Amino acid sequence: MDRKVKIVQYGCGKMSVYLMRYAMEKGGELVAAFDANPGVIGRDIGEIIGTAPLGIKVTDAAKADEVLKQTKPDVCIIATRSTMAELKEAFALCAKNGVNAISTCEEALFPWNSSPDITRELDELAKAGGCTLCGSGYPDLFWGTMVTNLAGSSVSITKIKGSSSYNVEDYGIALAKGHGAGLTIEEFHREIGNYNSLSSDEIKELVIKGAYIPSYMWNQNGWLCSRLGLTILSQTQKCVPHTYQSDLHSSTLDMTIKAGDATGMSAIVTTETAEGITLETECIGKVYAPDEYDKNEWTLFGEPETTVIVNRPATVELTCGTIVNRIPQLIDSPPGYITTDKMPDNAYMARPMHEYVKSR
């Protein structure tokens, strides 16, 4: 592409601080920003990312349709909430305007196995609009391409075991609530752990009805199996609360979590495949105690056994870096809802991002 990539930011919260700065640093041109929060609407984006005013003010998301038609951006970065049901409207708006969209929404990484109806609908809208929709972020690389790339050195894999933890405090309220942070153990089991005893078939029924709320690894295992060409036989999920021995303050929740209440959870997803490979993946999201830090560790069992560890990953920066680096591939993908397992692996951009875009 022989001009700057035009980018719109949809959702101007914690992630947008990095997303907007990175998009500009990598040579993109920010043309608009949307939010629904009255406290954010009208603020200059420079103020949000901590620079001098940049002359672009956050517009009310209610006017997004109008602004997209006016500005005709190449890409919309959506960082609002965590489920496809919550994302549907923003994705649909982009699709109808022929604007490629990429989201930090965790379910969006591989929504085919948790919200198939919404995903199919968006896929059709995107095809009609001639643009691509996808989800990306930290999981795309650190639970995704890093693992499948490593698998490229394995001769036979019997099991893929992954474990990743992150601090609920680094993210917004949607993530904290999704992890049951601040709930009593009883509330946790009622609100979050209520699928724990469901069989694979029972969950499948809920998924078809559009009534299933997946943990991040639910979608991740779908992504991994799709990328590795594995046929899923069954998939189940267990959510287990984490607690801490003393009270912990959460600024995201604006409350103190009492000792013994849920600081967050482990969600463990187990997938069995026709190829004999078991996936057992766990994500741990909680309000950290002072001595805790982010971890990401994956082991491929089989011949040979290989473990890779990412030490204290800067989860937030890596999420936003991965999203911005996906932009050229997003633009170059065929129209539709295209999950990133169907794209080439992420790549570092040593030059301005438009030089990596092949289309137009």
Ligand X SMILES: NC(=O)c1ccc[n+]([C@@H]2O[C@H](COP(=O)([O-])OP(=O)(O)OC[C@H]3O[C@@H](n4cnc5c(N)ncnc54)[C@H](OP(=O)(O)O)[C@@H]3O)[C@@H](O)[C@H]2O)c1
Given the rule CB under 6 A, which residues bind ligand X?
11-16, 34-37, 40, 61, 79-82, 104-106, 137-139, 171-175, 319
| Per CB under 8 A, 305 contacts its own copies | yes
At residue 278's C-alpha, the angle toward residues 276 and 284, to 5°, is 170
Is the bond preceding 304 in cis, omega lying within 30 degrees of 0? Answer: yes
Complex with its own copies: residue 92 or 102, whichever CB lies closer = 102
What tokens does 350 get?
Answer: 């040593």
**CB of 36 vs its own copies, minimal distance in Å:** 27
- CA distance linking residue 252 with residue 168, whole number of Å: 8
Contact range with its own copies by CB under 8 A, out of 48-56, 76-84, 154-162, 264-272? 154-162
Q: To the nearest whole angstrom, how small is the minimum distance from the Cβ of residue 138 to ligand X? A: 4
Residue 355, Cβ neighbours under 10 Å: how many?
12
Q: Which of 214, 205, 181, 194 is nearest to 287 (CA)?
A: 181
288 binds, among ligand X, its own copies, none (CB under 5 to 8 A by kind): none
Write down the least CB distance from residue 315 to ligand X, Å.
7
Strand residues in the chain grouped as ranges (E) = 6-10, 29-35, 58-60, 75-78, 100-103, 132-135, 156-167, 232-242, 248-250, 255-257, 264-273, 278-286, 295-303, 306-311, 336-337
| Dihedral, CA of residue 286, residue 291, residue 294 and residue 299, to nearest 10 | -100
CA pair distance 259, 269, nearest whole angstrom: 27
Among 211, 291, 348, 358, binds its own copies (CB under 8 A): 348
Residue 104: contacted member of its own copies, ligand X, none (CB under 5 to 8 Å, by partner type): ligand X
Phi, psi at 170, each rounded to 5°: -80, -10
Stretch that binds its own copies, among 49-57, 114-122, 197-205, 344-352 (CB under 8 A): 344-352
281, two tokens? 């993946």
Count the residues of the shown chain that bind its own copies, applying the rule CB under 8 A: 49
Applying CB under 8 A, does 358 fall inside the site for its own copies? no
Cα–Cα nearest to 133, from 61, 70, 84: 84
Nearer to ligand X, 63 or 360 (CB): 63
Judged by CB, which is closer to ligand X: 88, or 238? Answer: 88
Query: At closest approach, how far in Å is the CB of 190 from ligand X?
Result: 22
Cβ contact 65:74 at 8 Å:
no
State yes or no: residue 242 binds its own copies (CB under 8 A).
no
The least CB distance from residue 106 to ligand X, in Å, is 5
Position 309 contacts its own copies (CB under 8 A): yes
Q: Are 297 and 307 in contact (CB under 8 A)?
A: yes
Q: Which of ligand X, its own copies, none does residue 247 bind (CB under 5 to 8 Å by kind)?
A: none
Query: Does residue number 351 form part of the binding site for its own copies (CB under 8 A)?
Result: yes
Site for its own copies, rule CB under 8 A: 22, 25-26, 138, 141-142, 145-146, 148-157, 228-230, 275, 277, 303-314, 317-318, 320-322, 324-325, 344-348, 350-351
